[in-house]
Amino acid sequence: MFLGQQRLKVIRGYRVHEQRTPSQDIHVITPSQTIGPFFGVGLVRPGDEDLACKQPRGARAEGTPIIIQGQVMDENGKPVRKALIEVWQANRWGKYEHPDDTTQAPLDPNFKGWGRALTDSQGRYTFRSIKPGAYPNPGYDNWMRPPHVHFSLFAAGLMQRLITQMYFPGEEYNDIDPILNGVEDLRARASLIARRMPDEPEGTQVYQFDIVLRGSQETPFFVEGK
C-alpha cells in the first residue's frame, strides 16, 4: 500500500493475502506531533549488518557475495536519520533460516539470514549478504518467487513499521511474480528493483536500493511481509 494515498489492493490468487487484507478502507490517523521511536546505538550490535556470517570474522555463507546499500529519504528528498532497518532473505538455494520453511532445499550452517542497521546522518545504510535464490511458493502450482530481500523500516514519526521487498534486476521470474506485479503503477513497481552498481574490486556485487517515505515517489509498502 501507499501510506495515505491509495487503498489496499488484494493480490488475486495469493490466498494468504486475500484472507488477511482488510475489506474496509484504512483511515490514517495523523498524529498531532512528531512521535518516536528514537533508536539508540545499543540496539544494533557489531556484525548485525552482515547476513552471510553468524559471528564477526566467522565462516562465510556460500553464494555470490553482495552489498546492498541505499538511502532513506522523505518526500522532499531529505535524509531520514536513525531509521531502523531490518532485512531477511533466503540463502543461495532459496531456503529461509526459519522453522516455518519446510522446503527440501538445504540450509547453510554459516548463513544468518537476517540483518539490522541504523541509517546514518545522511539516511544511508549498508548490508552485506549473498544473493538469495529463487524458490517455489508452498501451496501454489508453478509459482516461483524471484530472488528478493524483505525490508522492515521503523523511524521517528511512524506509528507502525513499514514492510517492503527488494528485487534484483534481470531475474526471469520478476515479470510473472504476482506480488511484484501486484503493484500496478509501473514507476512504483520499478522502484522495488534495485540498481546494479559497479562491483567491488574483489568482485562483490553492489546493489542500490533507496526508500522514499510519503509523496508521489513513495516506495510501495505491503501489509504482509511474506
The pLDDT tens digits for 133-181 are: 999 987 777 899 999 999 999 998 888 899 999 999 999 999 999 999 9
17 is catalytic: no
For 90-149, write each residue's pLDDT tens digit: 999 999 988 888 888 999 999 999 999 999 999 999 999 999 999 998 777 789 999 999
Rounded to 5 degrees, what angle do the CA atoms 190, 89, 211 make? 35
Query: Considering only 32-41, 137-146, 204-213, which range has the smallest mean pLDDT?
Result: 32-41
Question: What are the b/e assignments for 124-139, b being 16+ CB within 10 Å?
Answer: ebebbbbbbbbbebee
98 is catalytic: no
Say what the pLDDT of residue 36 is. 45
Structure-block grid coordinates of residue 186 = 509501473
Say what the pLDDT of residue 111 is. 97
User: Any idea which residue has 487503498 for its cell?
Assistant: 7
Domain ranges of the chain: 44-213
Question: How far apart are alpha carbons 85 and 133 in whole angstroms?
Answer: 22
User: Any idea which residue has 495523523 for its cell?
Assistant: 30
27 is catalytic: no
96 is catalytic: yes
User: Any idea which residue has 484472507 for its cell?
Assistant: 19
- The residue annotated as part of the active site, out of 17, 92, 116, 148, is 148
- The residue annotated as part of the active site, out of 17, 125, 145, 167, is 145
Which of 5-9, 29-33, 189-193 shows the highest mean pLDDT?
Answer: 189-193
Say what the pLDDT of residue 123 is. 98
Give Rg (Cα) of the chain: 17
Query: Residue 110, class by beta-carbon neighbours within 10 Å (0-12 exposed, 13-18 middle, 19+ buried)?
Result: middle
Say what the pLDDT of residue 108 is. 95
Nearest to 176 by CA among 140, 149, 225, 132: 140
- The residue annotated as part of the active site, out of 96, 125, 167, 207, is 96
Question: How far apart are alpha carbons 34 and 54 in whole angstroms?
Answer: 36
- The residue annotated as part of the active site, out of 17, 92, 128, 150, is 150
- Per-residue pLDDT for 37 more than 60? no
- The residue annotated as part of the active site, out of 14, 17, 92, 135, is 135
Query: Residue 9, class by beta-carbon neighbours within 10 Å (0-12 exposed, 13-18 middle, 19+ buried)?
Result: middle
CB 178 within 8 A of CB 39: no
What CATH code would you report for 44-213?
2.60.130.10
Say what the pLDDT of residue 22 is. 65
Q: What is the mean pLDDT of residues 77-84?
A: 96
Say what the pLDDT of residue 94 is. 96
